[in-house]
Structure formats: C-alpha cells, structure tokens
Amino acid sequence: MTDYERLIPLLVDNEIEFIIVGGAAATAHGSARLTLDLDIVYRRSQQNLARLVHALEPTEPYLRGAPPGLPFNWSVATLQKGLNFTLITTMGALDLLGEVVGGGAYEQLKPYTIILQVSGRECLCLSLKRLIEVKRAAGRPKDLEAIAELEQILAERQE
Amino acid sequence: MDNAPDKSDTIAPDPVIEAYKKDIDVTLIRENLRLTVDQRFQQLMKLQRFAEELQNAGQKARQKP
C-alpha cells in the first residue's frame, strides 16, 4: 500500500517542489479507480534534487521491480543522470517524473495546477482539465477508460 | 485554488473516449465528489489494502495441492 498521508507531507515538509499527476491526481479530483502509486513531476533544480535525496533517504528508495542487490545509489548524482524513476519506498510506490508526455517538465505544468489540502499541508496537483489533456496526449490505450471517467467528473462538476 | 491560466473547462469530444463513457458508473463519481481530498486518499488506501488481501488469498489458493 502507498501511504499518501505520510508520503505527501514528507515531501511538503522538506520543501520539495513537485506536482501530483497520474492516478493519484485523478483520485484527488474524484476518480473511483484503483491506483497503486504516487506519481509526481519534480523540479530538476540542484536544490530540489538535494532536498528530494535528503527527504526520501530514510524511506530506503530502490528501483521498483529490480532484483535485490543492484548497486543503486540514492544520490543527487543518480538523479542528475536520469529523468524518470519508478521507486519503491517504505511508504509505498513513488514515481519521480522529470517530465510527462504532452505536459512537459515542472515549469511547464505549474501554471496548470490547483492547490490541494492533504493531511493539513498544501501541495500542487495538476488541474483536472490539464490531466485529461496530458493523458490524451500520451495516447496509451490503457488510459482510455480513465480519461472517460475524468471527463465525466469534469461534466459533473460543471452541472 | 486554481492556478490554471485557461479558465475554459471545455474539451473537444473524442469519439473513442465517448464510447467508453457508457460504462462509467456516475453514482461512484457523485459519491466521491462529496468527499474531501483527504477522504478520497483514505478510501484509495483502503482499496489498495483490499486488493493486496485478495492477491495474497489468490496466491495461497494457488499453492494448495
């Protein structure tokens, strides 16, 4: 299980610049679909990478699905060498995305966010309309049902 | 609070996505929209726990001779 009530406050309390996207963003907007992880787009500034490494260190981040014992070094240097990381932590599954198809990086997505209150903290979440647009742009067949639900939520909110 | 510069919530319909909408349970959406964001995440975590229990039960059942 991914513990959103601990993971999101951990990121916020360490002043990490991030935007909730993907299935967790859909949940925040009212989706009833099951998602198993927390997807975030993170700002790739040196300071933010350092904060991410420091904040997540106690949660023992490791590459999800990778065999145990790989020489995975959780560090700023590792984050600089990659872009998107699918991690398993002691608080659950966490995907760190440097950018998303159809939406771009943190800076491009930030104007299309809403402020969420989660466990008493404020954090950024991709707006419902932008989430739909990004999922449409990704063009993945597995997203079609999720997009249909999100568009239905948008319609319900407009009524 | 919405930071989005585009205030229009209109999205051009896509015929494939429209076809999927027939199977969406609107009652579940309406229930969820009544909840707070915290309650929605709590509900998701309950669902994840239940899915894990089902997976474990399935694994045990397959291991039985």
Q: A20-65, pLDDT tens digit by residue? A: 999 999 999 999 999 999 999 999 999 999 999 999 999 999 999 9
pLDDT category at B65 given cuts 50, 70, 90 is confident
Asked whether residue A5 carries a pLDDT value surpassing 80, the answer given is: yes
The answer for residues whose C-beta is within 8 angstroms of residue A123's C-beta and 6 or more apart is A8, A11, A12, A18, A20, A115, A116
* Chain B positions in Cβ-Cβ contact with residue A34 (cut-off 8 Å): 44, 47-48, 51
C-beta atoms of A112 and B6 within 8 A: yes
Structural domain count of chain B: 1
The reply to whether B3 falls in a domain is: no
Find the domain containing B35 and state its range: 24-63
CA–CA distance from B37 to each of A22, A29, A37, A148, B27 (Å)? 15, 8, 16, 21, 18
The answer for residues whose C-beta is within 8 angstroms of residue B64's C-beta and 6 or more apart is none
Rounded CA separation A46/A32 (Å)? 37
C-beta atoms of A113 and B49 within 8 A: no
Chain A residue with CA closest to B30: the answer is: A156
Asked whether residue B7 carries a pLDDT value surpassing 90, the answer given is: no
Helix (H, G, I), strand (E, B) or coil at A89: strand
pLDDT category at A67 given cuts 50, 70, 90 is very high
Two tokens, residue A33: 């679909």
- For every residue of A38-72, DSSP letters joined together read EEEEE---HHHHHHHHHHHGGG--EETTPPTT---
C-beta atoms of A27 and B41 within 8 A: yes
The reply to whether B13 falls in a domain is: no
C-beta atoms of A112 and B3 within 8 A: yes
Q: Is A150 left (phi over 0), alpha (psi -120 to 50) or beta?
A: alpha
**Which whole number is the average pLDDT over A124-141?**
95
Chain A residue with CA closest to B49: the answer is: A1
Rounded CA separation B32/B41 (Å)? 10
User: Mean pLDDT of all residues in chain A?
Assistant: 96
A75-91, pLDDT tens digit by residue? 999 999 999 999 999 99
* Chain A positions in Cβ-Cβ contact with residue B20 (cut-off 8 Å): 144-145, 147-148
Chain A residue with CA closest to B52: the answer is: A1
Q: Name the burial class of residue A81, with classes exposed (0-12), middle (13-18) and buried (19+) by CB atoms within 10 angstroms of its CB.
A: exposed
* Chain B positions in Cβ-Cβ contact with residue A2 (cut-off 8 Å): 45, 48
- CA torsion A27→A33→A38→A40, rounded to 10°? -60
**Domains detected in chain A:** 4-150 (3.30.460.40)
Q: Closest Cα of chain B to A78: distance in Å?
A: 30
Closest CB from A152, A157, A158 relative to B21: A152
Rounded CA separation B21/B10 (Å)? 16
pTM score of the predicted model = 0.93
* Chain A positions in Cβ-Cβ contact with residue B51 (cut-off 8 Å): 34, 36
* Chain B positions in Cβ-Cβ contact with residue A26 (cut-off 8 Å): none
C-beta atoms of B48 and A112 within 8 A: no
